[in-house]
């Protein structure tokens, strides 16, 4: 958890104080921001993700790693695309020979995602824009209907399970689909990059992407790792997610201070999880048959 996130989620937890701060942040939200050459359309009703982007404090370490490791011609899967931060960056990084598939089941966020895709398609034309597909489904381990529990204060914290921040009231009915099935519909059998940020539902999404992952010899996964969220979403200990990734042939690293720290097995998994209590999280990078030198 960054200092900004700690202040927002802990120090400003009292409702009247948070309401006042939200009002102030929303007054600063811009219509668009640039991330390198990419254009991102912001949600003027979201003080957290769009607010952080306006203030230039959103996932700087993660975006820097993504910019280093996402290459021309890649097929990129963006799960939990929100307003299109990583989708937009990927469009410029993979170029006209690449493909980007973005999953965003929240209708309001998807409106801005589509605007983001349109703006970058126009800026890259002619010939420089990749194929982009936007899915209105939630990536999951099975196909069917689901409920999306909405956080009224944070458009980046919608979940597929109820919680104190995402109550039953206001839940939306959506569709869920496996990544494998979604990509098969598009004629895609493998991918180079899988970015996951879905509030603990990452394990379920990866379960639904097993065939794609097995077909992808050099895949990179950039995933949020929030042990408490994983436990709530899957009912399993967070180590089960890491262990499953290793069975798929990945070496797992923690992305920390712009460096990758190798997690060497169950003891390292347990140490990492013990450090991440409550709302604390980190990001992991999973590499399959690819060296760290190729990240630069």
Q: List pLDDT tens digits, range 158-175.
A: 999 999 999 999 899 999
Contact between 243 and 217 under an 8 Å Cβ cutoff? The reply is: no
Share of the chain above pLDDT 90, in %: 83
At 198, list the tokens. Answer: 């879905």
How many alpha carbons lie under 13 Å from residue 240 in its C-beta half-sphere? Answer: 16
Tell me: pLDDT of 95 over 60.
Answer: yes
- Going by pLDDT thresholds of 50, 70 and 90, the confidence category of residue 3 is very low
Q: Which residue has the tokens 């597929």?
A: 160
Tell me: pLDDT of 87 over 70.
Answer: yes
What is the structure's pLDDT at 8?
Answer: 47
Instruction: Of 57-61, 135-139, 208-212, 287-291, give the lowest mean pLDDT range.
Output: 287-291
Read off the pLDDT of each residue in 257-285 and give the average, rounded to a whole number. 95
Contact between 29 and 44 under an 8 Å Cβ cutoff? The reply is: yes
- CATH of 58-295, picked from 1.10.3680.10, 3.30.450.70, 3.20.20.70, 3.40.50.150, is 3.40.50.150
Read off the pLDDT of each residue in 188-204 and give the average, rounded to a whole number. 98
- 106-145 pLDDT, tens digit per residue, is 999 999 999 999 999 999 988 899 999 999 999 999 999 9
Tell me: pLDDT of 233 over 50.
Answer: yes
Q: Which residues contact 275 (CB under 8 A, 6 or more apart)?
A: none
What is the structure's pLDDT at 11?
Answer: 40
Tell me: pLDDT of 10 over 70.
Answer: no
Read off the pLDDT of each residue in 29-50 and give the average, rounded to a whole number. 96
Higher pLDDT, 19 or 195: 195
The answer to whether the bond into 147 is cis (omega within 30° of 0) is no
What is the structure's pLDDT at 292?
Answer: 67
Say how many residues make up the chain.
296
Tell me: pLDDT of 73 over 50.
Answer: yes
Higher pLDDT, 279 or 203: 203
What is the side-by-side strand order in the sheet with 138-139? 138-139, 172-177, 144-148
**Contacts of range 261-266, beta carbons closer than 8 Å, 24 or more positions apart:** 266/239
Residue 34 dihedral angles phi and psi, to the nearest 5°: -105, 135
Q: Which of 104, 62, 101 is nearest to 82 (CA)?
A: 104
What is the structure's pLDDT at 22?
Answer: 79
Q: How far apart are the first and last CA of the chain?
A: 26
Q: Using CA atoms, how far apart are residues 245 and 239, in angstroms rounded to an integer?
A: 10
How many alpha carbons lie under 13 Å from residue 270 in its C-beta half-sphere? Answer: 3
What is the structure's pLDDT at 26?
Answer: 86
Q: Using CA atoms, how far apart are residues 135 and 177, in angstroms rounded to an integer?
A: 10
Q: Which residues contact 205 (CB under 8 A, 6 or more apart)?
A: 79, 139, 140, 141, 179, 196, 198
Read off the pLDDT of each residue in 53-64 and give the average, rounded to a whole number. 94
258: left (phi over 0), alpha (psi -120 to 50) or beta: left
Q: Using CA atoms, how far apart are residues 198 and 159, in angstroms rounded to an integer?
A: 7
Spell 110-122 as b/e; 16+ CB within 10 A means b: bebbbbbbebbee
Q: Which of 191, 176, 188 is nearest to 139 (CA)?
A: 176
Please provide the average confidence, as pLDDT, over all residues in the chain: 92
Tell me: pLDDT of 1 over 60.
Answer: no
What is the structure's pLDDT at 7?
Answer: 44
Q: Is 282 exposed, middle or buried (0-12, 13-18, 19+ CB in 10 A)?
A: middle
In this prediction the pTM is 0.93
Share of the chain above pLDDT 70, in %: 92
Q: What angle do CA 259, 279, 282 make, to 5 degrees?
A: 15
Spell 26-48 as b/e; 16+ CB within 10 A means b: beebeeebebeebbbbbbeebbb
């Amino acid at each position: 958890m960054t200092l900004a996130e700690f202040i927002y989620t802990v120090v400003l937890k009292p409702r009247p104080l948070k309401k006042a701060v939200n009002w102030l942040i929303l007054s600063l939200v811009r219509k668009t921001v640039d991330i390198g050459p990419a254009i991102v359309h912001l949600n003027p009703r979201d003080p957290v993700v769009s607010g952080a982007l306006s203030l230039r404090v959103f996932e700087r370490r993660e975006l820097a790693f993504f910019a280093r490791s996402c290459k021309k011609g890649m097929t990129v899967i963006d799960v939990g695309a929100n307003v299109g931060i990583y989708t937009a960056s990927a469009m410029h990084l993979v170029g006209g020979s690449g493909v980007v598939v973005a999953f965003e089941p929240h209708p309001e966020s998807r409106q801005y995602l589509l605007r983001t895709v349109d703006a970058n398609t126009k800026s890259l034309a002619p010939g420089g824009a990749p194929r982009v597909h936007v899915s209105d489904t939630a990536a999951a381990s099975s196909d069917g209907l689901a409920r999306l529990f909405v956080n009224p204060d944070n458009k980046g914290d919608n979940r597929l399970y109820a919680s104190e921040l995402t109550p039953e009231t206001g839940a939306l009915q959506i569709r869920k689909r496996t990544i494998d099935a979604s990509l098969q519909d598009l004629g895609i059998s493998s991918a180079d990059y899988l970015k996951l940020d879905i509030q603990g539902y990452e394990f379920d999404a990866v379960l639904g992407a097993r065939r794609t992952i097995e077909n992808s010899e050099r895949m990179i996964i950039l995933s949020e790792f929030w042990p408490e969220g994983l436990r709530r979403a899957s009912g399993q200990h967070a180590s089960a997610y890491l262990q499953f990734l290793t069975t798929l042939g990945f070496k797992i690293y923690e992305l920390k201070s712009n460096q990758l720290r190798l997690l060497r097995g169950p003891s390292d998994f347990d140490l990492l999880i013990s450090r991440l209590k409550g709302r604390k999280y980190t990001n992991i990078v999973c590499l399959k048959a690819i060296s760290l030198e190729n990240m630069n």
